[in-house]
Structure 1
Amino acid sequence: MPLLRRPRLTRTDWLIAGLEALCEIGPGALGAEPLARRIGTTKGSFYWHFNDVPAYHQAILDLWAAEAEATLTTASEAATDTSRLRDTAQTIAASAQNDAAAMRAESAIRAWAQDDPAAAAAVQAVDERRLQRLHALLSACGIGNIEMARILYAAAIGMQALRDRDADRNAAAIGSLVDLVLALR
């Protein structure tokens, strides 16, 4: 009977496994040894793809930030400024509805950021980018008050915390808030 070889793990395999472990267990699961056990391989595979655990952590944060940016860009392709504002706010608030794994990852990374400076910096960068985008869209709609962007963003982040229970209602709710804010102009 021939020996069957397992396929080699890729860098992406390790990152996905890390995000899953972060969501299920927390940041303590993001070491080389616990991840190798979880995946059923050796630490050597981990170190083939990453110089060390801090580099791995940064790669996870970079992946999350890149996905957040891609989602933000996709949401802003609507035809009008008002539609782009609505789509962007709804995308932030209702990502649980569209991608449960991404939603869980965002919640887990935000929790990780409470105790980890690198995670906090990544969350801050994503928050700033999203706030800038919301503010630019509000400004294009005639509302220049940066506080309105913060209010929309805080509501969207709060709706993320509602997750599965109310995910199907998040887009409508944040859409109503956008409509209310736009009525102030």
Structure 2
Amino acid sequence: RRWLGRDAARDNPVHLLETGRLALSEFEHRLAAALVTLDGAPVRAEGLVDRLFAGMRHDPVMVDLLRTARAAGLHTALLSNSWGNDYPRALLDELCDIVVISGEIGLRKPDPAIYRHLLNQLGLPPGRCVFVDDFPVNVRGAEAVGMRAIHHVNPVTTRTALHELIVGGARP
């Protein structure tokens, strides 16, 4: 929990990894040293992050939502706290006008500077943007710089909230 909390100290290994100040291999070694298996054996560091994220897949409903938004002429972007090595760049280029990965620019949500960086890349004022994130602290960070924001809980509620903002007369 000390490592994974979004409000964790700036010197924790997750923060260092996601701001590009810690190599993935060093992160894996630090994480492995802090873990044990159910039977008490040490955890193998090499490939640990790949094993942890092996089951993660993109959500087809959210991918469709991005495609629909782009087809409607809306700008789309990805702002991710990550080191970004294994992102499906071809898919992201299809879905997003701008991709900002924290580990590539040395900033991390909810630091206001990362939202301002994204806005600068988009060339849009904050009031013309809607930010969606699954962590409330990141939603609050976007709101603090003037963006409208939606806390993503599931694709249905996110789609509904976006529809209300965009079709309901508050198009970004």
TM-score range, shorter chain: 0.3 to 0.5
Relative to total residues, which structure has the larger strand share, 1 or 2? 2
Relative to total residues, which structure has the larger helix share, 1 or 2? 1
Give the alignment's TM-score, normalised by structure 2. Answer: 0.33
Give 1 or 2 for the bigger CA radius of gyration: 1
Give the alignment's TM-score, normalised by structure 1. Answer: 0.31
